[in-house]
Structure formats: structure tokens, C-alpha cells
Structure 1
Amino acid sequence: MTQPGNHPSLSQLPPPAWADDEIDLFELVVGLWRRKWVVLAVIAVALALAAAYLLLTTPVYESSARLRPPLASQLAAINETGQLTLSPEEAFGRVIFEARAISTQRQVFDAFKERFLNSNARSDALAEQYFLLNFLPASSTKVDGSGKNDVLAETTATITFKHADNQFAADISNALATAARSRARAGVLDDLRVVMETRIRVLESRIVLGADELKRNDQDTVVQLQEADELRRRDLQDQIAALTRKTRQLRLDKITELQEALAIAQSLGIEDPVTMHMMSNRDGGNESVAFRAELSDGTRDPLYLRGSRMLEAELAALEQRTSDAHMEPRLRDLQEQLDLLEKNRRIELLQGRENYEALAENTGALRAEITQLRNFLAASYADVKMARVDKEAVARKTPIRPKKALTVAIALIAGTMLGILIALVMAAVQNRRQPPPAADTAQ
């Protein structure tokens, strides 16, 4: 067993291993300086890789075209039609929508397809793949709106395209801006044309409906007039028939009266017309004659005083009469009214109408509006602008990537840090490989 008195004291124990791991900045700097060529070599390699990256990477250029809303005067030709109201903000919104539309970008792509693709890669499949994977990601439209407190600012749209050819990028940006404005203008004019053509059809249908309504009204009026004429005709015929019967009856009554007077005249032997005074003188004061004379005072003379010859002639004339119309003046008036009913000029005029459209109500105003709309349709609207070009895209000389200064700076920083790290690791490894210094022997 080990004796307790044989244990070494604490002062005689060896120092711990970590006692030599303290960092000496002077030795660190000296170690880095000794290995400066390693750091410089790493920096040189990093710079060489950066240079290779810059040389091998295809530069990408970016070009932008900026658009502004149109002036109100540039939309006046559309707004003056009264069929479509378009504010500058709405017009500019259509341009922005068309700039972002895939159909617009495809139109521009198809126009520049030969410059995008070589002759060996112009198949539809490859073109579609290039359009989806390269063209669409390279184009963008950014809208900058005005602030709430900035009343003088306005909305702008920036159409950007990126490509390895700086001039090509500018051409595509300008083409996209032009296509967006053209398509927006064509869309508005198509809407205006459809609205005006629809309005013309509505107005023409109104004219036709007005003519049809007038025709139906005329037909109804003709029926009403014919019914009124028929009613009036029957009423007149009834009046004429009643008056005819009355005059005939009066003639028959007159014949009866004349026959009685003829019988009296024949019985009295009166052949020629006489008066009551002559009769009284001839009868020598006969009481009966005197009595008749007294009865005849103040009244018309009896018919038998006309004498039998006159009465016979008058009676023969009455019996031979075939019409008694001349005896009743009202019959002539009624017959005249009945004859007038045979031809109703208003009915003839209504039935003879052919051009009902010219007679329909408001036809003139409707046709004037149609003529105005047709003139609007025939207009060219060349002054209509959906947006103003604030800045055209130009070919830039500096690519957006790769950025040479940034790439070199990153390579320099990364190479320096990596070189220092390698130098430090090499110094640490060398220190580990050196034997530790010999420990002092105990006294």
C-alpha cells in the first residue's frame, strides 16, 4: 500500500494542459505574417474565381419605359359621343391591365420571335417553352401611385424588360408599352362601337315599333270609323224609312180626304171651283148653306168647293205618284247624309297609308340620333390616347447583373477571410505538433 507520507505536494503537480492555450496576439500576428503568402494566395484564387464568373456569366441589361395617364382632351372624342364615359384614370387603368396581360406579352413575343429564337428552335413547343420560362419572367410592370398628401403627383406605370442584349431589351420595353396602349385603345373603341351599334339597333326598333303601333292604331281607327258610319247609316236609313212611311201615309190620307170631297162636290153638282158666298147666293138663302157659311168663317174653304173636276185631277195625280220624297224636305237632307257615308275620306286615307315610319311619333328625332351615331361610328378617333409616354426605354450600357464592383468586393472580402482562417488553422496545427517544453525537476 502507498504510504500517505509519500504523496507529492500540490506545488509539485504538473501544470494543466490548458495553461498553454492562452492566445498571444503578438504571436497570432506574427504567425499570420509568416503565412501571408497563404492569405494572398487564397485572395488571388477568390479574385480569379470572381473574374472567371464575370467572364463566363452573360450580362443582363434592364430597360424601362414609363407611361403617364392621358389628358382629358385626349379622351374628349369618346366622351362627346355620350355613349361611353371614360376618365383619364380609367383609361390608364386599362393600359396597365393590358401591360400585365399575358396576351399582350405574347403578341410582342410573336412579333420578336425571330430575334428570340434561332432558326433551329422555332418550333411551337420550343417557342412556348421559351415564352413561359424566359420571356414572362423577364418582363414586369410596376405602378407608382401618388401619395395621399401629394396632390400634384400622379400615377405612373413602368414597363421593364431584361435581356442580354441591351438594345433588344429597350426595343421590347417600348414594344410592350406601345402594345399596351394600342390594345387598350382598341378595346375602348370596340366597346364604344358595340354600345353605339346596340343603340342604333334600339332606335331602329323603336321606329319600327312606333310604325307598327301607328298601323295598329290606324286599323283600330278604321274599324271604329266603319262601325260609327254603319251605325249612322242604319240610323239614317231608319229615319228615311220612317219619313217615307209618314209621307206615304199622308198621301193616302190626302187621297181619302179628296175622295170624300169629290163625293160631296158631285152630290152638290159642283164641277168648277166656287166660294161659300157663291153657294149661298145660288141656293137663295138656304139655311143649310148659311149654316155652312157660318161654320166656314175663319177657316179654310172645304175641299169640295174646288169642284169635281179639280178634285178628280188632284186625286188622279196623287194615285199615280210613285215617290213622296219631294213632299218631305228632310228626306233630301237625310239621303244626302246617307250618300256621304258611302265614302269616308278619312278611312280611305288611313287604309291607303304605306310609309308608317315617316308618320310615327318622334321618328324624326330618332332618325337624327341614328344619323349622329353612324357619323360617330365612321369617325377615326385618331386623337384618342390612352396614355402618355413619359420616358421611352433606351439601351443601357451598364448591366444589372453581374455587378462587377460588388462581385470583386465580395471575392476580396471572402478570400481575405478564408485566407486568414486557413492561416490560423495552419498555425494551430503547427503549435500542436511542437513538443511541450521540459518540466523542471523537483528539488
Structure 2
Amino acid sequence: MNNTPQLHPHLASDEIDLFELFQALWKRKAWVIGCAMLTGLLGAGYAFLAPQVYQVSSVLRPAAINELDALNRSEVYMLPPADALAKVGAQLDSYESKLGFFRANPVLFEAFQRPGQNLEQSFEAFNRDAITLVLPDPKKSESFNSFLRLEMQYPKGIDGAAILNGFVDYAIAQERGQVGADLKVIVNNRLNELKGKIDAARANYETAKESKIARLLEADNVKRARLQDELTALRLQMKMERASRLAELAEAIEIAKSIGIKNPTTPSAMGGEASRSSSQVMRTVVTNQAIPLYFMGSEVLEAERAALKQRTNDDFTNSRVAEIGKELRMLDINREVEVLNNRKNEDMFLQDVEPLWAEVSRLRGLNIDMTDLKLVTVDRQAQEPMGPIKPKKALIIALSTVAGLMLGTLVALLLHFVQVRRETGPFSLAGDRRLPRP
């Protein structure tokens, strides 16, 4: 009877037996341990031979309100503590600020300088990898949101704490100088603006003063001209009156001579002489008519005519001429114009400039020296680190060992499955049995 060939038990099922895998791993534990030891040694070598990296940090917070009170009360430059912290943060993050500190402290940065590199190239290596500005999380509440943290990572042999603290002080000093410069410019601009307003007021005053003097002098000239015209007309009038008087006297003299009146007389007296008697009579004549001029007598009239002909000036005959002379003499000097021209301190007469002078005095009294201005509070200065942050030896060794264990396990499993494949293949020894002859 024919014997039926027996198949290998592994062909009966494709299921993985965990116990069998565990036995396979145990048989090849040397591979697992060897890989773990090898990777562990490699990790330990890297951990102990890799360059050590250290880290220092500094924390800045807003200054107290009283530190900036004097600056803010100046009403010229407003700088709240939060804004001052932001300005310092911008200075810390500034490329120019970092480069300036790098140039100012070459001794601290000797380790960053490489042969064949210029200063800017050496600085690029420092600026790219060394200092990092950490900003607060804007999602957090405001009370915890006002701070700046500056971190620096550096290799062994560099005084990182001195570099970071020095850079913080340098940035604060730079921003303090910038605030002082801005304040000085603003104050100077305000002073120039006030000076311009005062100069404008002074120019307006000068214009008003000259205009007033011109008006006063013009009024004097007009009045002088009118008085001169009046005096000329008055003298012409008096001359014509004198000529009229001479003509009147000439006529009266002719009449007096014709009727034989040499001495002054009256019409009643002339009538009385015709009927003169021995008795003395006193007459009183009451009349409202003027006595003709020829009754003055020819002698008196000729004397008056001779006096009028010899007269060269009629001014004394009219009191108005003296008044005009007095007024003309007073117009020779305008005392108001003289006072205006003789003012010594004309700024005292400027209008609406008292507030400007007060503001100028206040601005000139401001202290623009920002040497002692405290912009921020250094909450924590950089301190020498207790140890490097890189490489983390224990972690590297542990991870490399775990990786070795995983690698060893993978190798052991691969070897096991290769062996199983060989044993269960179509040309394996277990499947190469021949059937017995009948």
C-alpha cells in the first residue's frame, strides 16, 4: 500500500506564533545585545565627543511708572513703560545694534572670528546662530504679556553671560541715547516754532508801530498845512482890510478938509457952535447911528493913514495869528512819535506773547540729559550656566541603546524568518522525501 507524503507542520497555517517568535529572539539574543551595545557605544562616543553648547538668558520687564514720570510730564515726549520696553526690544533685535556691539567689543568675540574672514563675515555667524529674542505670547493676558527674553547659545570657551549682559546694556544705552536725541530735536523744534511766533509778533509790532508813526506824522503834516493855509489867508485878509482902511481914511480926510474939521468933533457939537450963547449948556446925544469917520478930524485921520502906510506886518492886529503860530510850534515835535522811537525794550509792548515766553522758559528749563533715564527693568541678568544644554549625554545614550535594541530585534527576526523560509520551501530537506516503491 502506498504511503501518503506528510507536509511540514508550518505549511498548515499562516498564523504567527508569538511564543515561537519569542523563542527565536531568545535564541538570537546575542544579535540583539550586540546591536544595542554597538549603538550605545556609538551614542556614548557622540555624546562625549560632540561640541558642548551652553545657553544663558536675560529677562527684561517694563520700568516703573515713576522712572518715566519726569519725561512724560514734560508734555514734549510721551513714553509709556510698555512703549519703552518695545523700543528696547526693537533695539535688541536690530542688526545695526548687534553689529555695533560686535565692533565695540572685539575681545569678547575672538572665538567667533575665523581666519580669512572679515569682521562682517564673522559677525554673520554670530548673528545667525547665537542670540535669539523671545517675544511674549500675545494670547496670554496683559499682566503676563509685558516682558522680553533674550537667549544666547554658545560653544565652550566663550563668556556668554558677559556678552549677553553687555549687549543688553549696550542696547539700552543706545535706545536711551536715541530718546535723548529725539527729545533734544523735539525741544529745539518747539523752541524754533515759538521763536518764529515771537518773531512774527515782533514783526507785527514793528509794522503797527511804523504805521502808527506814519499816521501821526501824516496827521501833523495835514494839520500844519491847514494852519499854514489859514495863516496865509488870514494875512491876506488883514492886508486887504488895511488897504480898505487906507481908502476909507483917504475919503474921510477929503471930507474933513472940505468941511474944515481938523480935530475930532460930533454932529451935535457942530450944531451947537452955530447957536453958541453966553450961557453954558451941557448936551447929551443919544443915537444908534455910527458917527461918520470924518468927524475924527483931518489931523487924526492923516496920522492914522501915515501909520497904516508905514506898517509892514499886520499879524499883531489879529489874535488868531498868534494862536496859529503856537499850534505850528507844537507841531514841530510830536512827543508820541518821539516816545515810540525812543522805546528801549520793545518786546514788553508785544501783544499776546506772554504764554509764548512762558513756554520758551519752560522748555529751556527742561532736563534733556537722559543719562540716568531707566527705560526698562532687567528682571534677570544672564548668569554662568551650571552645565551645557547640548549634547544631552544620558538622553543620547538611552536613545541610541533603544535604537540598538530595536535594530537587534529586527535583525534577529529577519534571520528567523529567513531560516523558516528555507525550511518550508519546495526544495527544503523536509519536503524532499521520495515515495517507496510498490
TM-score (norm 1): 0.85
Higher helix share: 1
Supply the distance in 1 between the matched residues of 2:11 and 2:257 (Cα, whole angstroms): 191
Partner of 1:91: 84
Structure 1's 112 and 40: CA in aligned 2 closer, same or farther, altered over 3 A? farther
- Counterpart residue identity of residue 64, structure 2: L
- 1:406 matched to 2:392? The reply is no
Q: Deviations over 1:266-301 (max 9, x none)?
A: 22222222233321111339xxxxxxx99x822233
Q: Is residue 2:240 matched to residue 1:231?
A: no
Shift of 1:96: 1.3
Aligned residues: 424
Decide whether aligned partners of structure 1 residues 15 and 417 sit closer, same or farther in structure 2, where only a CA change above 3 A counts: closer
Instruction: Please give the alpha-carbon distance, in whole angstroms, between the structure 2 residues aligned to 1:126 and 1:16.
Output: 76
Secondary structure of 1:58's aligned partner:
coil
Structure 1, unmatched stretches of 5+, are 1-7, 286-292
In the alignment, is residue 373 of structure 1 matched against residue 363 of structure 2? yes
State whether structure 2 residue 118 is matched by structure 1 residue 129.
no
Structure-1 separation of matches of 2:147 and 2:222 = 81
Q: Pick from 202, 219, 223 the counterpart of residue 193 of structure 2.
A: 202
Deviations 1:357-379 (A, max 9, x none): 45433455434432332222x54
Change over 3 Å in CA distance of 1:127–1:20 after alignment to 2: farther
- Whether 2:41 is the aligned partner of 1:48: answer yes
Change in 2 beyond 3 A, CA 1:409/1:68: same
The Cα of 1:49 is off from its aligned counterpart by: 0.8
What is the CA deviation profile of residues 226-250 of structure 1, one whole-angstrom value per residue up to 9, with x for unaligned ones? 3222222221111111211112222
Q: Secondary structure at the match of 1:173?
A: helix
Q: Which secondary structure state, in structure 2, belongs to the residue aligned with residue 113 of structure 1?
A: coil
| Gap change, CA 1:240 and 1:266, over 3 Å in 2 | same
Question: Aligned partners of 2:208, 2:252: CA distance in 1, in Å?
Answer: 64
Letter in 2 for 1:310: V
Q: Tell me the distance in 2 between the aligned counterparts of 1:381 and 1:25.
A: 78
Instruction: Report deviation, 1:52.
Output: 1.0
Shift of 1:430: 4.0
Q: Is 1:340 the counterpart of 2:340 in the alignment? A: no
Distance in 1, matches of 2:143 and 2:132, equals 26
CA displacement at 1:79 relative to structure 2: 1.6
> Which of 73, 80, 97 is equivalent to 2:73?
80
| Contact kept in structure 2, 1:167 and 1:394, CA below 8 Å | no
**Partner letter of residue 217 of structure 1?**
A
User: Using a 3 Å threshold, how does the CA distance of structure 1 residues 119 and 199 change in structure 2: closer, same or farther?
Assistant: closer
Matched, 1:111 2:101: no
The equivalent residue for 1:320 is 310
Paired AA for residue 421 in structure 1: L
Question: Do the aligned partners of 1:210 and 1:357 also contact (CA within 8 Å) in 2?
Answer: no
Is contact 1:166–1:395 with CA below 8 Å preserved after alignment?
Answer: no
| Aligned with residue 32 of structure 2, among 27, 35, 39 | 39
Q: Distance in 2 between matches of 1:269 and 1:400?
A: 155
Q: Unaligned regions of 5+ residues in structure 2, if any? A: 277-283
CA RMSD of the aligned region, Å?
3.1
TM-score, normalised on structure 2?
0.86
* 2:379 aligns with one of 390, 402, 421: 390
Per-residue deviation, residues 74-105 of structure 1 (Å, max 9, x unmatched): 11221222212222222121111111111121
Residues 209, 340 of structure 2: 8 Å contact kept: yes
3-state secondary structure, aligned to 2:118: helix
- How far 1:431 sits from its partner (Å)? 4.3
Counterpart contact for 1:66–1:159, Cα < 8 Å: yes
Q: Which runs of 4+ in 1 moved over 6 A?
A: none
Give the Cα–Cα distance (whole angstroms) in 2 for the partners of residues 301 and 341 of structure 1: 45
Query: Are the counterparts in 2 of residues 275 and 305 from structure 1 also a CA contact under 8 Å?
Result: yes
Structure 1 position 329 matched with structure 2 position 319:
yes
Amino acid at match of 1:333: E
Corresponding residue SS for 2:108: helix
1:141 maps to 133
Q: Which residue type is aligned with residue 153 of structure 1? A: F
The secondary structure found in structure 2 opposite 1:114 is coil
Aligned to 1:155: 146
Contact 1:47 1:408 in 2 (8 A): yes
Percent of paired sites with the same residue:
31
How far, CA to CA, are the matches of 2:214 and 2:269 in structure 1?
A: 69
What residue number does 2:279 align with?
Answer: none
User: In structure 1, what is the Cα distance between the partners aligned to 2:421 and 2:90?
Assistant: 69
Task: Say whether 1:266 aligns with 2:257.
Answer: yes
2:129 is matched by which residue type in structure 1? Answer: P
| Structure 2 counterpart of 1:61 | 54
Aligned residue for 1:390, secondary structure, equals strand
Task: Work out the CA distance in 2 between the residues paired with 1:19 and 1:395.
Answer: 69
- Per-residue deviation, residues 301-341 of structure 1 (Å, max 9, x unmatched): 32222222221111111121112222222222122212222
Distance change in 2, residues 1:362/1:151 (3 Å): same
Structure 2 Cα separation of the partners of residues 401 and 244 of structure 1: 122
1: CA distance, partners of 2:157 / 2:360: 53
